[in-house]
Amino acid sequence: MTDDATAKLDTFPKWLAYNAAVRPVRPAMRHKDLGIWKEWSWAEVNDIVRALTLGLMAHGLERGDKIAIIGSNRPKLYWSIMAAQMAGAVPVPVYADAVADEMAYVLEHAEVRFACVQDQEQVDKLLAISDRLKTLDMVFYDEPRGLRDYDHARLRPIEDLISQGKAQILADPDAVRRLDARIAEGGGDDISIILYTSGTTGRSKGVMLAAGRCVAAARDTVAFDRLTDRDQIIAYLPLAWVGDHYLNYAQAIVAGCTINCPESPETAVEDRREIGVTFAFAPPRVYESLLTRIMIRMEDAGWLKRRLFHYYIGVAKRWGEKILDGKPVPLPARLNYALGHLLIYGPLKNVLGMTSVRVAYTAGEAIGPELFSFYRSIGLNLKQLYGQTEAFLYVTCQTDTAVRADCVGPATPNVDIRISESGEVLYRSPGQFLGYFKDPEKTAEAMTEDGYVRTGDAGFFEKDGQLRIIDRAKDVGRLRSGALFAPKYLENKLKFFPNIREAVTFGQGQDAVTAFINIDLTAMGNWAERNNVSYGSYQELAAHPQVYEIIAGHVAEINRQLAEEPLMAGAQIARFLILHKELDADDGELTRTQKVRRGFIAERYAPLITALYDGSTEAAISTEVTFEDGRKGVISARLRVMDARTFPVPAAAPARAA
């Protein structure tokens, strides 16, 4: 690929034509249908998309019109996105599992004129909300099953559009000229796509992305991970999510690699294995469920296999990551690891469909260090990235040689990151959005005056230049001394100890940080058994002096770690207590997704917080609890408040968040 030839390609349709000319016979897309992988080359895809574009234009599609794309990862829907862009229209992918009402909001807000949908299910949803969708003219569908008896006045199969367009290309040179003119008219400033945020906090917002910026961002990361037209990716992420549009669409088109569409969402793992994917992405929970599945299956395996497995996983744990990182490893260990690869890691990766994976990413939430290390130790090049829809995905990503579980890597090439006064991560990136659709106010809120985008996350740079995300910015506070206080960051650190199940930290506007701690009954109970400590209840074990000693050790360890982080050194935990009961969603202390409700807890245990700050060594508390059968009762206890060992900040003047 010569840079000169591709420099002028500022839209995806132009890239499509380029791929069709440069690598006409390389596979562009595959789809497993009726048990067989069907394949389309770049030239074929280009022809189909051109035909589909003409088909859409014949229905009156104008530049700037919005087309909803609803369904799972199927070639016809990807072609619809490409065709919309080719015609200068704007595709608006919508989450296929959205209920009709949510869908209505997005479609109404985006003023869609057409919709390309997967099947009867989606057609039914659109029909149910059609009275709200004044602008919707036509619906095109992929899968005809069940739709035969529907009124076809405003309904047509996508297949028809393609054949209509193909006939037009053969018969009507004028149409071809019109099409080429449309493509040429498209430029880097066009809105390439509008991606609606999932809207966990309030109504979803339509993120407008420009064609030229999308292409530029994709070029950077394609070069960064050295993707070529030999790479294979599997498209199983939701179409409406930026991850799919970036990793499976934009990168694939720019790199010329193959987009493989699984047979159904459930078969993605099996299909990945058949294809031999080379570039993979999955959120942490996917890696976690895969690992759990392996572990459960290993428990069912025979004695010898189980022994072998555990022995070699041990070897991998010790040496695997060092070998992957290219660090010096003694020869015998290397040989043993190679044997392990032959016996265990190789077959394991094969079962996971990761034998050929060259680059794997995870993102979206914090990944447990153990989980992360497991995959890396068996030789999977798993890395983290950090990004958001507004950036067109990448803000930071890790290089192959510097990977760690607690950071998300340095800025991606050409991305400029700054940490604001309040500790919020700000960035400017090549793929950066144009604004929220029809919402200049929200756009202004999301930007700084000098053009940086606010992520809403608080973070800081580690010594090695990697960004560490600590918390949502709105949760991060300051002590009275001005030191940064990130509750979730501290709590996650505490919870990293198996003995600590839950932790709640306080400190906003106070002189020091204090913590409530919940012990983990399984882990601590196990310890009690081994050390002949008898206890009658959770409350009794929690109040045991030896337990306090152990937890005090953990807190001291955290403080020692914090002392080494200039930014966090001021937020060492000064005092703590162990709660007499487990925090429970039934009592409203946790959300149903097991997140602590800090405000509610502070109110409920106000006397304890007072005791943490007034220097007393004991505090009385009685709380109402809800038992599993719904009855209510009161638990009273006198809890011990303990001072924790803190560490002096290293001599070098601590660099406060400026």
Under rule CB under 8 A, residue 266 binds other proteins: yes
39 or 62: CB nearest other proteins:
39
Q: Quick one: which of 287, 284, 225, 277 has its CA closest to 251?
A: 225
Under rule CB under 8 A, residue 149 binds other proteins: yes
Is 116 exposed, middle or buried, given 0-12, 13-18 or 19+ CB atoms closer than 10 A?
A: buried
User: At its nearest, how many Å lie between other proteins and the CB of residue 296?
Assistant: 14
User: At its nearest, how many Å lie between other proteins and the CB of residue 362?
Assistant: 23
Stretch that binds other proteins, among 62-70, 146-154, 364-372, 622-630 (CB under 8 A): 146-154
264 or 526: CB nearest other proteins:
264
User: At its nearest, how many Å lie between other proteins and the CB of residue 123?
Assistant: 14
Among 135, 163, 228, 267, binds other proteins (CB under 8 A): 267
Q: CA-CA distance, 253 to 6, in Å (whole number)?
A: 12
Residue with tokens 């608006």: 92
User: At its nearest, how many Å lie between other proteins and the CB of residue 127?
Assistant: 16
Is 570 exposed, middle or buried, given 0-12, 13-18 or 19+ CB atoms closer than 10 A?
A: buried
Residue with tokens 């569409």: 261
Is the CB of residue 191 less than 8 Å from the CB of residue 90?
A: yes
Residue with tokens 């609890």: 625
State whether the Cα torsion 186-188-192-194 is positive or negative. negative
Q: Quick one: which of 420, 412, 344 has its CA closest to 383?
A: 412
Site for other proteins in 35-54 (CB under 8 A): 35-36
97 or 180: CB nearest other proteins:
97
31 or 245: CB nearest other proteins:
31
271 or 457: CB nearest other proteins:
271
Please give the C-alpha separations between residue 172 and each of 17, 50, 53, 88, in angstroms, as whole numbers.
20, 13, 14, 21
User: At its nearest, how many Å lie between other proteins and the CB of residue 34?
Assistant: 4
Residues contacting residue 170 through CB under 8 Å, at least 6 positions apart: none
Under rule CB under 8 A, residue 299 binds other proteins: no
User: At its nearest, how many Å lie between other proteins and the CB of residue 144?
Assistant: 10
Under rule CB under 8 A, residue 264 binds other proteins: yes
268 or 397: CB nearest other proteins:
268
Stretch that binds other proteins, among 260-268, 541-549, 572-580, 595-603 (CB under 8 A): 260-268
Among 134, 145, 530, 632, binds other proteins (CB under 8 A): 145
DSSP string spanning 418-487? EE-TTSEEEEE-TT---EETT-HHHHHHHB-TTSPEEEEEEEEE-TTS-EEEEEEGGG-EE-TTS-EE-H
User: At its nearest, how many Å lie between other proteins and the CB of residue 30?
Assistant: 15
Phi, psi of 411 (to 5 degrees): -55, 140
User: At its nearest, how many Å lie between other proteins and the CB of residue 149?
Assistant: 7
CA atoms within 13 A on the CB side of 187: 2
User: At its nearest, how many Å lie between other proteins and the CB of residue 77?
Assistant: 17
Among 97, 180, 189, 270, binds other proteins (CB under 8 A): 270
Please write down the long-range contacts of 487-496, taking CB distance under 8 Å and 24 or more positions apart: 487/598, 489/568, 490/515, 490/558, 490/562, 490/571, 490/573, 491/596, 492/366, 493/558, 493/561, 494/554, 494/555, 494/558, 496/369
Stretch that binds other proteins, among 21-29, 30-38, 195-203, 563-571 (CB under 8 A): 30-38
Stretch that binds other proteins, among 33-41, 282-290, 464-472, 479-487 (CB under 8 A): 33-41
Residue with tokens 């508390």: 621
Under rule CB under 8 A, residue 146 binds other proteins: yes
Q: Give the residues across from 560 on adjacent strands.
A: none
Site for other proteins in 421-480 (CB under 8 A): none
Under rule CB under 8 A, residue 300 binds other proteins: no
Stretch that binds other proteins, among 140-148, 327-335, 365-373, 418-426 (CB under 8 A): 140-148
Tell me how many degrees the CA angle 540-543-548 measures, rounded to the nearest 5: 140
Under rule CB under 8 A, residue 296 binds other proteins: no
Among 34, 331, 652, 658, binds other proteins (CB under 8 A): 34
149 or 174: CB nearest other proteins:
149
Q: CA-CA distance, 390 to 195, in Å (whole number)?
A: 9
User: At its nearest, how many Å lie between other proteins and the CB of residue 265?
Assistant: 9
Q: CA-CA distance, 396 to 417, in Å (whole number)?
A: 9
User: At its nearest, how many Å lie between other proteins and the CB of residue 57?
Assistant: 32
To the nearest 5 percent, what fractions of the chain are helix, strand and coil?
45, 20, 35
User: At its nearest, how many Å lie between other proteins and the CB of residue 152?
Assistant: 16
Q: Kindly report the number of other CB atoms within 10 A of residue 325's CB atom.
A: 13
Is the CB of residue 318 less than 8 Å from the CB of residue 340?
A: no
3 or 266: CB nearest other proteins:
266
36 or 304: CB nearest other proteins:
36
Q: CA-CA distance, 295 to 210, in Å (whole number)?
A: 45
Q: CA-CA distance, 465 to 398, in Å (whole number)?
A: 10
35 or 536: CB nearest other proteins:
35
121 or 400: CB nearest other proteins:
121
Tell me how many degrees the CA angle 211-214-219 measures, rounded to the nearest 5: 125
User: At its nearest, how many Å lie between other proteins and the CB of residue 285?
Assistant: 19
Phi, psi of 210 (to 5 degrees): -90, 145
Under rule CB under 8 A, residue 159 binds other proteins: no
Q: Quick one: which of 62, 55, 139, 74 has its CA closest to 103?
A: 139
Binding-site size, other proteins (CB under 8 A)? 14
User: At its nearest, how many Å lie between other proteins and the CB of residue 262?
Assistant: 9
Query: According to DSSP H, which parts of 279-366 are helical?
Result: 284-299, 303-315, 321-324, 331-340, 346-352
User: At its nearest, how many Å lie between other proteins and the CB of residue 277?
Assistant: 18
User: At its nearest, how many Å lie between other proteins and the CB of residue 345?
Assistant: 24
235 or 551: CB nearest other proteins:
235
Stretch that binds other proteins, among 264-272, 402-410, 413-421, 605-613 (CB under 8 A): 264-272
Under rule CB under 8 A, residue 33 binds other proteins: yes
Stretch that binds other proteins, among 29-37, 100-108, 239-247, 460-468 (CB under 8 A): 29-37
Q: Give every strand in the sheet of 513-519, ordered side by side.
A: 500-506, 513-519, 573-578, 632-643, 618-626
Among 263, 406, 475, 557, binds other proteins (CB under 8 A): 263
274 or 584: CB nearest other proteins:
274
Under rule CB under 8 A, residue 148 binds other proteins: yes
Stretch that binds other proteins, among 19-27, 142-150, 418-426, 505-513 (CB under 8 A): 142-150
Under rule CB under 8 A, residue 124 binds other proteins: no
The H or E element spanning position 514 is strand 513-519
User: What residue ranges bind other proteins (CB under 8 A)?
Assistant: 32-36, 145-146, 148-149, 263-264, 266-267, 270
